Amino acid sequence: MAAFYIYLISSLPLLQFGAQPPFSFKKFLDLCRDKIPEAEINLIELTAEKRVFYKGFQATLKKWFVFDRTLRNELVKIRASRKHIDSFKYLRGDEYIEPLLAHIAMNAHRNPSILEGERILDQQRWNILDELAIGHYFDLDFLIIYALKLLILERWERINTAEKSRLLQEVLN
């Protein structure tokens, strides 16, 4: 089965933050169907739906979900302090401590453009995925990271097309 990983991964196009996704997440899963075990495809699908219980699970997924939850916790702390409420009841988990995330969350929150703030957060998510990809070239970890990056690109594609359609409606009215 390892040879199929090499074939599959070497046939995938390179993903770059800010670029259009080369294909949909669904098509990515279809590309994987005949080349990797069904259990791993199911894992990638569940990852996309954020339904993976990561404790004791695959190491890359655990690192990703802990990072993402920590970034979200930092945003909760900032938003709660602005509203003068206790953030403790909204925080989830405490495994990951990274002082840089508080700085990144604050930069995103302070940005006058909500869209640019989201771009800052997704750029950091992309950077962490790049770090997680180190040493993983032809394995399941690579495919999981690729899938997560593809989901980020799809999200921005939806944002960009929604913005264009709204602007078009304003011009037409």
Global confidence as pTM: 0.87
Query: pLDDT tens string for the chain (173 positions)?
Result: 455 889 999 999 999 999 999 999 999 999 999 899 998 998 898 888 775 555 557 888 888 888 888 898 888 888 888 888 887 777 877 666 677 888 999 999 999 998 999 999 999 999 999 999 999 999 999 999 999 999 999 999 988 888 676 766 776 77
pLDDT at res. 122: 97
> Residue 8's pLDDT is what?
93
**In the prediction, which pLDDT does 169 show?**
72
The whole-number pLDDT of residue 161 equals 86
pLDDT for position 94: 67
Report pLDDT for 65.
Answer: 86
Q: Let me know: does 157 contact 21? Beta carbons within 8 Å.
A: yes
- Mean pLDDT value across the chain: 86
Where do the structural domains in the chain lie, given as residue ranges?
22-164
The confidence score (pLDDT) of residue 84 equals 85
